Amino acid sequence: MAAPARGEILRRAGDLLDTRADAIGHDLAREEGKTLGEGVGETRRAAAIFRYYAAQTLEPDGETYPSASPRTFLFARREPVGVVTAITPWNFPIAIPAWKLAPALAYGNTVVWKPAELVPLTSVRLLEALLDAGVPEGVLNLVVGRGSVVGDTLVTHPSVDAISFTGSNSVGRAIQLKATERGKKVQLELGGKNPAVVLADADLELAAEHVARGAFLSAGQKCTATSRVIIDQAVFEPFAERLAQRAVEWPLGDALDPTTKVGPLASDQQLQTVLGYLETARTERASIVAGGDRNDDLGSGYFVRPTVLTDVDPTSTIVREEIFGPVAALLAADSYEDAVEIANDTPFGLSASVFTNDLDSALRFARDIRAGVVKVNQESAGLEYHVPFGGTKGSSSGSREQGKAAREFYTEWKTIYIDPGTPGG
């Protein structure tokens, strides 16, 4: 199929997602626990991603080069890599699949897609939009099942040329080993332990609001969530008070209730994991200034109160490991240099924020921090779809998703020499 024709299908898919956004967002909230507003917003973001890559199908797909021979026409073009396995997580069950499926299809690949087993309904809704838009039979294939059952086949099958995975570090690295030893192309987006640095000159109300958003929205179940907050000692107490106030006041409850700001965790397993980390925090003598437990007033749902921890050791489990829950650990810093050193002291390098009113400090932080995404006076979470996304260190395999950068993974170069043959022949 010609690239512009593929683009028309993706554009129709985006329009269908927009039309169905309220219904899909409702299903997403019921299935995954994200608030209704977040679910609808995520669906509309997926629609925008499909329209963006529809436009990319009209972009140049190659380059011409001068040849040493005046008779030779020399050019290179990008061609699809082939069959792509896309393995996606439950925390963004429509946006993350969209930013894998849209470029894969735009650039001419076929896809076998395995979503997380927690979100089959939302996955089917996305597939329906693409099929209704006209994706040909066999081009996009949905496999619903546990990774422990179907994962090896999807990664090691000889027909698979590339694997794009978003999920945990342990699973991602295991996939990388199995795939690369078979010569397959691999793209990994893994975990994060993302810092927000609050300098002494920051607007504390702004900083507290954005740190709370990064830490508590989506119940903290985001790889880009703010989980470590490094605060200049001079403003530590007033900032902690402001953040704790939001943790206490933000409504926690039913994802379908329009007044809810923080919904439940996605599963009982996730609930037990987060509660286990909070118990570890107590064992490690952290002080809990807000939250720290399950909200039993809401019944048997997977509700954990937004939590703010202080008196945490930089080497403690709660500071080192990804929790994937609504938990923010606060650490004090003596200076800008100390704050950056603490922020960089992690095996991860996905996203980071700094809050300051000084332009020099902001630009300096953007240079000094080891992270793939840097925000100034914004929450660490929240991504625009037309720019590269990915991490450094243990957060990534080094590739980038979204925007034009996605073309690097889903295509490969072919260089072509054309000579007219014998002169006069």
Residues 6+ apart with CB under 8 A from 212: 243, 246, 247, 250, 306, 328
Architecture category of domain 3-190+396-418 in CATH: 3-Layer(aba) Sandwich (3.40)
Q: For this structure, is 189 an active site residue?
A: yes
Q: What are the boundaries of each domain within the chain?
A: 3-190+396-418, 194-376
- Kindly list the distances between the CA atom of residue 3 and the CA atoms of 6, 99, 110, 267, in Å, as whole numbers in the listed order: 5, 18, 13, 40
Q: How many CA atoms lie within 13 A of 226 on its CB side?
A: 37
Q: For this structure, is 32 an active site residue?
A: no
Residue 116 near residue 270 (C-beta atoms within 8 A): no
Whether 3-190+396-418 and 194-376 share one fold: the answer is: no
Q: pTM of the prediction?
A: 0.95
pLDDT digits (tens, 9 = 90+) for 374-419: 999 999 999 999 999 999 999 999 999 999 999 999 999 999 999 9
- Kindly list the distances between the CA atom of residue 142 and the CA atoms of 220, 300, 328, in Å, as whole numbers in the listed order: 28, 32, 36
pLDDT the model gives residue 423: 67
Neighbours of 227 (CB within 10 A): 28
pLDDT the model gives residue 163: 98
Report residue 44 as tokens.
């509309």
Q: Which of 189, 322, 379, 401 is catalytic?
A: 189
pLDDT the model gives residue 424: 60
Nearest C-alpha neighbor of 379 from the set 251, 246, 258, 217:
217
Residue 231 near residue 333 (C-beta atoms within 8 A): yes
- Give the Cα separation of 239 and 396 in Å (integer): 32
Residue 194 near residue 215 (C-beta atoms within 8 A): no
pLDDT the model gives residue 87: 98
pLDDT the model gives residue 422: 73
Does the domain made of 194-376 have the CATH classification 3.40.309.10? yes
Side by side, the strands of the sheet bearing 411-418 are: 62-65, 73-80, 411-418
Could you state, in chain order, the average pLDDT of each consecutive group of 10 residues for the chain (425 residues)?
A: 97 98 97 97 98 98 96 97 98 97 98 97 98 97 92 95 96 95 96 97 98 98 97 98 98 96 96 97 96 88 97 96 97 98 97 98 98 98 95 94 97 97 66
Residue 300 near residue 267 (C-beta atoms within 8 A): no
Q: Which of 31, 32, 38, 223 is catalytic?
A: 223
- Judged by DSSP in three states, 78 sits in strand
- Give the Cα separation of 383 and 237 in Å (integer): 30
Q: How many CA atoms lie within 13 A of 413 on its CB side?
A: 8
